[in-house]
Amino acid sequence: MNKKIFLFFLAVFAAGLLPGTEGLFAQEDAYAIVHASRNRISALTISTRSRMVITARDGSTTERILDQYSKDGQGGNGRSVIVFQRPQSVAGTRFLVIENPGSNDDRWIFLPSLGKVRRIAASEGSASFMGTDFSYDDISSAGRSADLDSHSLAGEERLDGRLCHVIESRPRDASYQYSRMVQWIDRETGVNRKLELYDKRNVLVKRVEMLDVREIQGRLSPMVTKMTTLAAGTSTILYVDILKYDDPIPESVFTTAYLETGRAR
C-alpha cells in the first residue's frame, strides 16, 4: 500500500513517484500539482543519518549529526523523530512530531540539560529549531497538507535547466508564520526545487533550495537541502549521508517515553 510519509526536511522535496501521478506534474491545476508533489513517496518508513552545517553571519560554521525516523500512521497522522548525536553540546536531544490532519501538529522536545520532555506550543512555531535556520513550523511544513493553503499558478521558469511550475500558496489560517510561499516544482518529475517564504509584511525572509537529487531505492531523493535566512545572512545545509526506505521502525520510537530514554521498547 502506498502511504504518505511525514519527513522533516526531506518530504518537501522528495520525488519518489506514486503509480498514476506522472501526468499530474504537466497539467495546469495548481492544487493538484502541489498535492501530488507532497504525497508521492511510496514508502512505509524512512530512516536517515544526516550532517547539518550551520553558517553564521560572520562565516563561521558549526556541524551537527542527527538521525531521523519517520513512519506513516492511520488517518494520515505521520510521525517523525529526530535524534541529535553530535556534538556533545546537543547529543541526546530528541524531538517528536505527530501530524494531525486539519489541525496543529503535536510537538515535543527532550533536552538533556532539563532532563524532561517539554511540549512545543503552537505559538512557538516561528522559533528557531535548535539554533538552525529552520523554525518549528518549517519542520512541520514538510507534511503540510495542500488543503491548508490556496494555490495559484504564477507561470513557468527554468531552474538549473529544468522547466518548473511556479506556484504561489497562501495559508488559509491567518495565524500561520508566513503570508505566502512560492515554490518551483519540476514539470517532469514533480521535484520541488526551490521554495521562497514571505513574512506578514510580504517580505521575502527565507529561501529553501534542493541542491542535489539522486535516485535511492528507485526514488528521486534530495540529498542536500539549504535553508537561508536572508536578513540575518545565515544558512543551514542538510547533507543526507544515509537514506533508507522501508526499514522496520518500532512503534515505541514515536512516543514521549522514547524521548526520555532513547530506548525503543
Residues 6+ apart with CB under 8 A from 166: 153, 154, 155, 156, 157, 182, 183, 184
In tens digits, the chain (265 residues) has pLDDT values of 333 333 445 544 443 333 344 455 556 789 999 888 877 667 889 999 999 999 999 999 999 999 999 987 766 678 889 999 999 999 999 999 887 766 777 899 999 998 999 998 888 878 888 889 988 878 766 557 788 899 999 999 999 899 999 999 999 888 888 999 999 999 988 888 999 999 999 999 999 999 898 888 988 888 999 999 999 999 999 999 999 999 999 999 999 999 999 988 7
Pairing of strands 234-245, 45-55: antiparallel
How many angstroms separate the Cα of 100 from the Cα of each of 94, 104, 143? 20, 6, 10
What b/e string do you get for 160-171 counting C-beta neighbours within 10 Å, with b at 16 or more? eeeebbbbbbeb
Integer Cα distance of 92 and 99 in angstroms: 23
- Say whether domain 10-261 belongs to CATH 3.40.1190.20: no
Backbone torsions φ then ψ of 2, nearest 5 degrees: -80, 130
Grid cell at residue 223: 540529498
Q: What are the structural domain ranges in the chain?
A: 10-261
Nearest to 82 by CA among 239, 222, 259, 246: 259
